[in-house]
Amino acid sequence: MAYIGRTKTPAPLTSADIPDGIVTAADLAPNSVDTSEIADSVTLVTPNLGTPSAVTLTNATFPDDHILYFKHTVIAASGGSHTNTSYSTTGGVAVTVPAVTCNAMDNLTIIFNTFSFIGNGAAHTDIGIRGDRSAPSAVNYQEQVVGSDDESTSAHRIPITYVIYDDSLSNADHTYRLQSKKGWGGSSDAGNISINGYGVNILVIGKK
């Protein structure tokens, strides 16, 4: 522009010379803004997330030995009295952990808590207890025998806590059961026996 007389003295451009909304993100060169252009004290506003919906978490990494699954199940009393001399699942004491959970865990701990009922027998009043995994593959766990070595004219009610630890998991449903038999397997040992005369508490803990 032509001037009559002297031109104006050049002056730096300030924010007051730029109307609001003129400069957009598209006008900024890549990486042109760094921490020196950001205020030292910035107040962050917590967003309103509302009520989040349940989602399946995938591709997440967790530290070792952290509990990621915890489930308590109560099985109602069914009686389930029997006189089997080999291990039986009479009483229906079982729990199934779904495949999606087993596939995400490194190990499971299954805790059965119940009362055994042991009727009087001619030789012993004992009951054999054993845990097993029936699916996806069969595994028998350590046997426990509880009761009295002596003949008894009265029934016994003995609290039982049986623990299964399984670190051989796969992407399939895993079913765990508590079995029972007349102690020592003799036909004269004990009378009727039961492991679900009063209900059963089952706790499943999954760790990664």
Is 47's pLDDT higher than 80? no
Report how far residue 58's alpha carbon sits from residue 104's, in angstroms, rounded to the nearest whole number: 9
pLDDT tens for 20-30 read: 777 777 777 88
**104: part of which helix (H) or strand (E)?**
helix 99-104
How high does pLDDT run on average in the chain? Answer: 84
**What is the rounded average pLDDT of the residues 25-46?**
75
Report how far residue 71's alpha carbon sits from residue 69's, in angstroms, rounded to the nearest whole number: 7
Contact between 195 and 178 (Cβ < 8 Å): yes
Is 32's pLDDT higher than 90? no
DSSP code for 143: E
**What is the rounded average pLDDT of the residues 61-74?**
87
For residue 8, what pLDDT is reported?
72
For residue 113, what pLDDT is reported?
97
Tell me the residue ranges of DSSP E strands in 35-88. Answer: 67-75
pLDDT band with cut points at 50, 70 and 90 for residue 50:
confident
Is 114's pLDDT higher than 80? yes
For residue 111, what pLDDT is reported?
98
pLDDT tens for 143-162 read: 998 877 666 667 778 899 99
Least confident of 37-51, 71-85, 165-179: 37-51
Tell me the residue ranges of DSSP E strands in the chain. Answer: 67-75, 94-97, 107-118, 125-135, 139-148, 156-166, 174-182, 193-194, 200-207
pLDDT tens for 80-104 read: 888 888 999 999 999 999 999 999 9
For residue 161, what pLDDT is reported?
95
* Tokens (6 digits) for 151: 């003949």
pLDDT band with cut points at 50, 70 and 90 for residue 141:
very high
Contact between 114 and 95 (Cβ < 8 Å): no
Is 166's pLDDT higher than 70? yes
pLDDT tens for 6-18 read: 777 777 777 777 7
Q: What domains sit in the chain, N to C, each tagged with a CATH number?
A: 67-207 (2.60.120.760)
Is 48's pLDDT higher than 80? no
**What is the rounded average pLDDT of the residues 57-64?**
72
